[in-house]
Structure 1
């Protein structure tokens, strides 16, 4: 080759290199001269196509050491950059790159590592050149055999440690890549030095650049896999934190590292319980690609474990079948995957349960998702961990983070699927009986929803009896507790459907109990929907059909010891719900109802309780044919209603509560009359008993009471008619007359109507005996006729028209006496014309 070049008159490559190296190494050479020499070398070696054997010979014999010295000592960055480029080119095309190790490795260590204390700092200052030096190291690790690299492992590790702490992100990434190459290049020796890389790697694992974090995780995977496995404990917590990284690529790197470790790590069996949770967390990753990656690795891990342990699981492989009630929508993991989780669940579960109560929200969310995945793999092996699981779920399902609660309830549903109800429900019910809490009910409802219908059926009565027991259903009025109690009923309906007929009474009691608690008002619509669903699964006609089916048992349930009730008694509230919501069904339980009313509405009982009962009774009477008289049997209890219920409570007693009771009693009496439950004959029977009390209530403070009392009095006068004696009539009209001056116009109008009926009660026999009373009434009514309110004037005019028929001449005389006093004579003249129309003539008076 040299001869051919000489024949052409050109300089031989060796001569060119020697000449340029002479210029490069001359002590007096300037920066420009060094740059020119390096550029010439670049042109000769890189830009021209030099045969490989020539380049290899020149690089090893002439170029390596001068270029290395330039790299170490040249003050010009551009010179060092060209020297680095030439070294990389020479290594890449050299036949024996390992021969360069004795020269390059010390140089790399000098330029990339911090100097020892007291020594001069020869570390490369330029970031880009440090990055280039690291790439040169990577090229050496790639090209040189492990045996040649092994003696230089300490220098490699020193360089990597320093570079991992480099402030330049690209240098960190290149150092990570070099660490991976070093681990793979000399695995027999690398484990002796690998521990020293763990600390700088973990310092860089939370770097702000996500690409750096990805590179660090990948490097950590290789360092542990090919290095000292004991360092695994030092890195797992850091890798676990990266599972929460906001960047999907970082989480993907963790999944890949975990998958590779589970497949290839030495002594991986000892670390399965630590690695499996991190890989399985990837199955719940937000990104579909990450979930698929995690699933792919997990399947490989399971299949590999099956092959490695085929003899131990031969029977399971041959005979183990899918559970008959496997949750819909879930794919069953392979046997190897299930066995891996089952065998290490006792190690994994305590730490996971601790994470479910961690103060960091993301940790709790990730842990709750992982719990579901673990329970899906463990299947019926969950049973031996039930106590720990339930304690954790009780707390976690009430987490302020909705996602945590939702995932925990999904996990509880798996308990219902895989664990025998005889075990799971017994434990939950035991906790519920000790101290009922909303969380107990929440977990119980989830377990019920997850339980297969046929498996749950034998436990229905036991469960329903427990939930309907007062110790559980009536232990608190806390809204959250009531919501969960309702959730249990809904879970029964969802899981058991027609089987709920067996526990229909207990479920109805629970729903009535919740509805009876005042703070549950916002749940009433949901409660009614649940009741309708309960009726529907039994083929009943809505709420009425449900109540009709159980009305006797419900009334017996609430009627225990009514003589001990107070306004705070739960039975009082439950009776109100049953009576007002059962519609026509309550008409089938009148005996029990009136037994309660008769007992509890005695005047010696709690006034507030009586007030509540009267309100309920009044509400029933307003639509009596659709409630208490739906069977036409109410008439059989009228005597009890009048004598034992209404009459005692219409008696005057001091206090606002007593006044309110009288108001409701008056309302009940009016409802009886208005709904025609009291026939005219029955009104005749009760008038002598009730009229004095009703007249007394005309002075009540309640406007409604006074108005209703006027209407009731009017009915009594209308029905009894001529049977009233003069002394009775003389007692009634003064009370009605006073109401004409009432503050309420409505009361005045009702009093006027009653006075019209009063005049109708006077026949010729009573007329003479009541003349003085009638004359007084004329005088008072004429005063009222001048009222500013025209409606009152018209009502009084109707009274005088009716009453004037008794003594028209006397009325005319009174009219003449007040004619000049009225604001307008129109009504007086109208009244005179009416009198004349009856046959009396004013001129005759």
Structure 2
């Protein structure tokens, strides 16, 4: 085929008597009968263009038209599947010459097979033509008509994909500068492809953008940026990750080619920002790679530091420290809260972020209040990264930063709060303590702040103090005084909820770590706070942690143990606490501090505090008008102190007598109601413990018995109606009193005591009946000679009834008491038992008592 005419002759070669044109039947203007071809080189009956137009004109049989275009393609590309033309020069003459208009016209044919054949032919030709730009004048308007308007005219997804692949591939890649006159049409088609619902078409549109950026100069593309971005950026939220990856790649080439600063900040920034927390690792990896290249540029790309801010992701793609300066040592870098940055950012990066900090911080802070977790999480990560890259620059923005930071620290999503705390730590490390400490102190100690607000402020303050200690910032005495003063304020130290107390303890602990030896200047105030936390009833673990912090404070002050702190500060603290004792309630911080202070003091230190401690307790316990919960709390405190072997030494002798006379016995006075009964139970328990540890000496017991107050209060407690436990405690107190002072009882006191003891054998509680038998044993053993025969008989007969009890435990207990009585008064016991032995259901116990009388 040396010419178009030769090609035409090949199409009309004679096939036989009735041969038709090969694959070209029913073409208007062409005969279907065999005829002799004119000699080579002779004039054609019509112009080539007319012949091709006629060959591809619409047929009365539309199905044949697709066959015709297929046959033409097979003649042009006889190489079969490879679609390879034998003579590209002839192909150029045919396709860009007489065949161009008819083939391009078929793009609008109503029959899909015809449109498909036209596109296939054009795509194959465009890839092989020496000068594919010759197609543009006719092809681009037709393609734009077919796929450049809204709505898109081409209904077939497959053909729309073929069109955009034709444009993205050979048309753009092989046309070069010749594409410039048709750039508007190309962009229209590309935009429609990006907006197409078919994901493969979207990806082909992204490829078209990338190829356009490679082939055309920046100035030529700049007018088309707005249109391209408007269609491209929505695909960053497409459901398919591969579409998002392709979109990012296209955006990367477009940004690298150069976009306006306004587009970067207002258009690209909001669109790219969500991708840093994308669910697909490939998308995040592509995102970080793209942003890294933009940050490396000297143009608007630096503004995207605010968007991505080298944000951390779940798979930690920025671990390579692309923004770190190799000139800084990693050993001194606080990597625990600057993750994933393993070294200090390069100076150029810091300057870059510092320049744009005022512009980017407001939007990031606003995003911390977004209603979706993903947006808040992204903002928290972003903020932490910005602070790492900005160094000390955020110090100028602290008044507008700290309040939102405190609010976000209480986010219900744990991961968001985690990154906010890390951001606070970065601020505490890189910004000088003098800039942020006064602001944080105001937030923590604000009188009108709600509990959640105060807790959040304590969280942020604790994080910043910790970070300042890690980087070894210095704190002067004025700053330390300001901080401790705020912590000691009533608004802060008065919190009684566990979360607030936990954060307060963290602040104190980090303050001790930061200040070190300077804590000795304010050790009394700090220990006061720790004592209050040790007294917390909300959490035993918190109390243990506060005790550990007290040990750390003692070490920082040069003391070997808490005993050293107690020796230094206990007297002055007790005096200070006593000043407002009249206003104490059970929930007063000073009350709890007083309790823990006494329990923390060793015996030697407590001895010096006892006069003050007794003065405080004796001013509260006798008064029935004071808070009952407070009275119970103090009575339990006294019981714990007397039960402690070391501390009990400080309460021996006169101090114990003063305590019993002025505090415990007045608290046993009967008042109506269960609340008053609860106070009496706490008082009799404390008295029982004091007597059990024999803190009252011989002289003190004698004086108390002579005062005629101790026994009546015990007898009253033995008859307590509200609580069985009170009667049990009274039985125990009576038992220990009889052990210590049984032989000191006078005849009258013995005569009054045994009926009270016998009454408890009729108690409704078997536990009380059993317990009183222990006191009866001691009474019989110590006072047997004090009773006359008449009272002794009455006493013995009162017990004999219960030796025939239905409960074997009571029978055994009473039998044991009578056996002891038989050793002291055998005749009286023998007579009484012999008289009633035949009435008892079981003779075992009577026999035992009679045998005891014989011994």
TM-score grouping bracket, smaller chain normalisation: 0.7 to 0.9
Distance 1:161 1:576, change over 3 A: same
Q: Does 1:688 align with 2:706?
A: yes
Question: Which of 327, 352, 357 is 2:334 aligned to?
Answer: 327
Question: Which of 480, 501, 504 is 1:482 aligned to?
Answer: 501
Q: Does 1:108 align with 2:143?
A: yes
Count of aligned positions: 791
SS at match of 2:139: helix
Is the contact made by 2:248 and 2:290 (CA closer than 8 Å) also made in structure 1?
yes
Correspondence for 1:7: none
CA displacement, residues 311-330 of structure 1 (integer Å, 9 cap, x when unaligned): xxxxxxxxx99999753564
Q: For residues 421 and 664 of structure 2, what CA distance do their matches in structure 1 show?
A: 53
CA displacement, residues 726-771 of structure 1 (integer Å, 9 cap, x when unaligned): 333322222222222223334334444444554556687x66xx23
Is the contact made by 2:369 and 2:408 (CA closer than 8 Å) also made in structure 1?
yes
Q: For residues 707 and 204 of structure 1, what CA distance do their matches in structure 2 show?
A: 80
Distance 1:761 1:499, change over 3 A: closer
Is the contact made by 2:434 and 2:479 (CA closer than 8 Å) also made in structure 1?
no
CA displacement, residues 163-189 of structure 1 (integer Å, 9 cap, x when unaligned): 333333222222232233335425434
Q: Does 1:449 align with 2:460?
A: no
The aligned runs of 1:13-32 (5 Å cut-off) are: 16=10, 25-26=54-55, 30-31=64-65, 32=67
CA displacement, residues 812-844 of structure 1 (integer Å, 9 cap, x when unaligned): 44444323322234433443444344xxxxxxx
Is the contact made by 2:692 and 2:736 (CA closer than 8 Å) also made in structure 1?
no
Question: Which of 733, 740, 749 is 2:754 aligned to?
Answer: 733
Question: Which of 237, 250, 269 is 2:270 aligned to?
Answer: 237
Question: Which of 149, 162, 168 is 1:132 aligned to?
Answer: 162
Q: For residues 579 and 159 of structure 2, what CA distance do their matches in structure 1 show?
A: 93
Q: For residues 763 and 666 of structure 2, what CA distance do their matches in structure 1 show?
A: 27
Q: For residues 609 and 691 of structure 2, what CA distance do their matches in structure 1 show?
A: 22
Q: For residues 741 and 502 of structure 1, what CA distance do their matches in structure 2 show?
A: 64
**CA positional deviation for 1:809:** 4.9
Correspondence for 1:285: 313
Correspondence for 1:613: 634
**CA positional deviation for 1:12:** 5.8
SS at match of 1:589: helix
Distance 1:82 1:548, change over 3 A: same
Is the contact made by 2:445 and 2:492 (CA closer than 8 Å) also made in structure 1?
no
Correspondence for 2:684: 666
SS at match of 1:456: coil
Correspondence for 1:491: 510
Is the contact made by 2:512 and 2:519 (CA closer than 8 Å) also made in structure 1?
yes
Q: Does 1:555 align with 2:578?
A: no
Q: Does 1:276 align with 2:276?
A: no
Q: For residues 392 and 427 of structure 1, what CA distance do their matches in structure 2 show?
A: 13
Correspondence for 2:613: 593
Is the contact made by 2:445 and 2:486 (CA closer than 8 Å) also made in structure 1?
no
The aligned runs of 1:630-779 (5 Å cut-off) are: 634-689=652-707, 690-701=710-721, 702-714=723-735, 724-759=745-780, 770-779=788-797
**CA positional deviation for 1:580:** 3.1
Distance 1:18 1:163, change over 3 A: farther
Correspondence for 1:821: 839
Is the contact made by 1:255 and 1:278 (CA closer than 8 Å) also made in structure 2?
no
Distance 1:12 1:733, change over 3 A: same
Distance 1:332 1:461, change over 3 A: closer
Correspondence for 2:19: none
Q: For residues 713 and 48 of structure 1, what CA distance do their matches in structure 2 show?
A: 118
Distance 1:260 1:717, change over 3 A: closer
Distance 1:90 1:628, change over 3 A: same
Question: What stretches of structure 2 of length at least 5 have no aligned partner?
Answer: 14-21, 23-47, 337-341
Q: For residues 67 and 762 of structure 1, what CA distance do their matches in structure 2 show?
A: 133
Q: For residues 466 and 697 of structure 1, what CA distance do their matches in structure 2 show?
A: 48
**CA positional deviation for 1:370:** 1.4
Correspondence for 1:310: none
Distance 1:189 1:415, change over 3 A: closer
Q: For residues 779 and 318 of structure 2, what CA distance do their matches in structure 1 show?
A: 92
Q: For residues 385 and 592 of structure 1, what CA distance do their matches in structure 2 show?
A: 51
Q: For residues 811 and 224 of structure 1, what CA distance do their matches in structure 2 show?
A: 113
Distance 1:723 1:425, change over 3 A: closer
**CA positional deviation for 1:83:** 4.1
Q: For residues 434 and 387 of structure 1, what CA distance do their matches in structure 2 show?
A: 15
User: RMSD of the alignment, in Å?
Assistant: 3.7
The aligned runs of 1:339-488 (5 Å cut-off) are: 339-435=351-447, 437-451=454-468, 452-456=471-475, 458=477, 461-463=480-482, 465-488=484-507
Question: What stretches of structure 1 of length at least 5 have no aligned partner?
Answer: 4-10, 304-319, 838-845
Is the contact made by 1:13 and 1:44 (CA closer than 8 Å) also made in structure 2?
no
Q: For residues 49 and 805 of structure 1, what CA distance do their matches in structure 2 show?
A: 135
Question: Which of the pair is proportionally richer in helix?
Answer: 1
Q: For residues 329 and 393 of structure 2, what CA distance do their matches in structure 1 show?
A: 14
Is the contact made by 1:23 and 1:37 (CA closer than 8 Å) also made in structure 2?
no
CA displacement, residues 88-118 of structure 1 (integer Å, 9 cap, x when unaligned): 34333333322222222223223334599xx
**CA positional deviation for 1:684:** 2.4
Q: Does 1:246 align with 2:294?
A: no
Distance 1:595 1:23, change over 3 A: same
Which 10-residue stretch deviates more, 206-215 or 447-456? Answer: 206-215
Which 10-residue stretch deviates more, 342-351 or 686-695? Answer: 686-695
Correspondence for 1:622: 643
Correspondence for 1:505: 524
Q: For residues 426 and 767 of structure 2, what CA distance do their matches in structure 1 show?
A: 66
TM-score for the superposition, normalised by structure 2: 0.82
Q: For residues 223 and 807 of structure 1, what CA distance do their matches in structure 2 show?
A: 116
SS at match of 1:372: helix
**CA positional deviation for 1:605:** 4.9
CA displacement, residues 695-734 of structure 1 (integer Å, 9 cap, x when unaligned): 3332223444434444544555555566644333322222
Distance 1:346 1:747, change over 3 A: same
Which 10-residue stretch deviates more, 438-447 or 643-652? Answer: 643-652
SS at match of 2:763: coil
CA displacement, residues 277-299 of structure 1 (integer Å, 9 cap, x when unaligned): 2242x44233444665xx65x68
Which 10-residue stretch deviates more, 364-373 or 494-503? Answer: 494-503
